[in-house]
Amino acid sequence: MVGVLEVLEVLKIIDSSILLCLFGLPMLGATLLLFIPASALKIIKIVAFAVSLVVAVLAIYIFVSFDETLGGIQFQRIYGWLPLPGPWGSGDDAITLSLGIDGVSATMVLLTGIVMLTGTLISWNVKESTKDFFILYFVLLSGVFGVFVTFDLFFFFLFYELSVLPMYLLIGKWGSTSKFKSFVRTKEYSAMKLTLVLVAGSVLIWVAIIAIFFQAGIGSFSVIEIQKVSETALSPTFQNIFFPLLMIGFGILAGLWPFHTWSPDGHVAAPTAVSMVHAGVLMKLGAFGIIRIGIVLMPNGAETWMPLLIVLGAVNVIYGAVSAMGQTDLKYVIGYSSVSHMGYVLMGMATLNVLGMNGAVLQMFSHGIMTALFFAVAGMIYDRTHTRDTLELRGMAKKMGVISILFTIAGLTSLGLPGMSGFVAELLVFIGVFQSYGHLGIILGSAAVIGAALTAVYILRLVASVFFGSTPEMWENQTDSRPRELLVAGILVAIIFSVGLWPFPYIEVIESGVNPIVAAISGAG
């Protein structure tokens, strides 16, 4: 009995600080790596794996422990930091490290934990400045976790920037340059373009956050506290003016057309693990920001501007799919495919109904897992052939049978084949669009369906051209996947099929977070 009580006490302690550990452990891991000699590669990799594994276990524990029947904000913890006395309100707790998760963020935490672990494993062969790579990788992921678990606007923005800025160094140093017949796309160019565009978006976000803080007049950056007064303090006119800043600012990171061009370039230049995090998690930060700050705090502004967002989302779907059809670089195909699939996320959010938003969040999760698998497999091919040019890759299935199967699974998930995660998510989005927008919904939903059909065209054509047909002599000595790579792929494939075949546990958690948001919008309307 005593032992049981001790275990329960330990679990209480863990639960009270688990969200702090979620972003604190990657930062601790990065700090620990600073003191390990760069030559001790084995120790560096073991530490990196251990940190990633522990964080992934914590993420799984949080998701499994989340009580969807209770809903609301769980694992809540508030750490006071900085008062701001003055004309802005009482200001006793102006800036607090306010932590918690709802059904939406619990799903994103699970996604991030999985991508972090698989990205660490796939980076096992990084040879150049391995120590520095993992330090920046952990700092980046610490920021990502921080965004998903914080309910303070100041810390939200701090973590948001922490998750963006390391990308410049990760791409600029460990990335690769793409050479085409007519031009060269250097890794330095891609890194700089990504950084400048995302920082420009961050400026818009910060302007909107400061405006919300002053307009609320309660002297606090707390999302929860501002939401309580948003109906009276944030007038419809204010919301209509500042919501577009958040929509565009966060939309840039989400790959919103026409601000998306940084994303495919960033995907192509980034090392494999960073591409997995970039497409799998970072783009989701943008969509999450629109939900957490934009829709929650400014529901009137959301209702005003969502018709524009759903149109832009439909353009995303079609434009991304058409652009992917014209690419000859594996990573460019996946990069533009990501732009297309993020269009479904934006369309689902823009419905402002339960089904559509459930589909949007599930699509965020599904796309994150799918693109992690896509980029992992593309990295396997590149490691062996030193090219991603689909005009050179032929008949690879004869030498890379398992790799070809894994790529095909990712492709079938991308085109929304029933039984895989993409089908469920896209179906919910389609139904949500038809429900919310009447005749316009039929038009936009039809466009989204056409986008799915185009996805099938370029994915099946890509699989046929790269993996089937006669094998050129230069690829005769290629090898198939290694055990470590199989472990990474196995984890991702298992999740794809688990969501596709039995999505209800995921949907129930997501819906517990979506319901209060939709209810607040209905109340505001």
Give the tens place of pLDDT for each residue, 335-394: 888 888 888 888 888 888 888 889 899 999 988 888 888 888 888 887 777 777 777 777
Confidence (pLDDT) at 110? 92
User: Whole-angstrom Cα distance, residue 189 to residue 186?
Assistant: 5
Number of domains making up the chain = 1
Confidence (pLDDT) at 372? 87
In this structure, are residues 132 and 200 in contact, taking their beta carbons and an 8 Å threshold?
Answer: no
Alpha-helix residue ranges (DSSP H) falling in 35-165:
41-65, 103-122, 130-149, 153-164
The single residue listed with the structure tokens 């530490």 is: 47
* Other C-beta atoms lying within 10 Å of the C-beta of residue 92: 12
Q: Kindly state the greatest CA–CA separation across the chain.
A: 75
94 secondary structure, DSSP code: S
Residue 341, C-beta contacts closer than 8 angstroms, at least 6 positions apart: 317, 320, 363, 367, 370, 371, 414, 422
* Other C-beta atoms lying within 10 Å of the C-beta of residue 494: 11
In this structure, are residues 214 and 238 in contact, taking their beta carbons and an 8 Å threshold?
Answer: no
Q: In this structure, what are the phi and psi dihedrals at residue 392, rounded to the nearest 5 degrees?
A: -100, -30
* Other C-beta atoms lying within 10 Å of the C-beta of residue 87: 9
* Domain, as residue range, for 156: 2-524
Confidence (pLDDT) at 11? 47
Confidence (pLDDT) at 8? 41
Q: What's the Cα-to-Cα distance from 516 to each of 110, 147, 228, 460, rounded to whole Å?
A: 21, 20, 13, 40
Confidence (pLDDT) at 2? 46
User: Whole-angstrom Cα distance, residue 416 to residue 426?
Assistant: 7
* Tokens at 131, concatenated: 């120590």
Residues in the chain, pLDDT under 50:
1-2, 4-5, 7-12
User: Whole-angstrom Cα distance, residue 339 to residue 406?
Assistant: 21
Confidence (pLDDT) at 183? 58
H or E segment and range at residue 178: strand 178-179
Residue 495, C-beta contacts closer than 8 angstroms, at least 6 positions apart: 114, 369, 421
Preceding omega of 472 cis (within 30 degrees of 0) = no
Confidence (pLDDT) at 7? 44
CA proximity to 266, closest of 255, 251, 250, 258: 255
The residue type found at 367 is: H
The single residue listed with the structure tokens 């497409």 is: 279
pTM of the model: 0.88
Neighbouring-strand partners of residue 317: none
User: Whole-angstrom Cα distance, residue 269 to residue 174?
Assistant: 9
What burial class does residue 523 get, using C-beta atoms within 10 Å of its C-beta: 0-12 exposed, 13-18 middle, 19+ buried?
Answer: exposed
Query: Would strands 178-179 and 184-185 be described as parallel, antiparallel, or unpaired?
Result: antiparallel
In this structure, are residues 284 and 364 in contact, taking their beta carbons and an 8 Å threshold?
Answer: yes
In this structure, are residues 234 and 109 in contact, taking their beta carbons and an 8 Å threshold?
Answer: no
* Tokens at 124, concatenated: 């096992």
Neighbouring-strand partners of residue 80: 96
Q: DSSP of 407-439, one letter per residue?
A: HHHHHHHHTT-TTSHHHHHHHHHHHHHHHHHHH
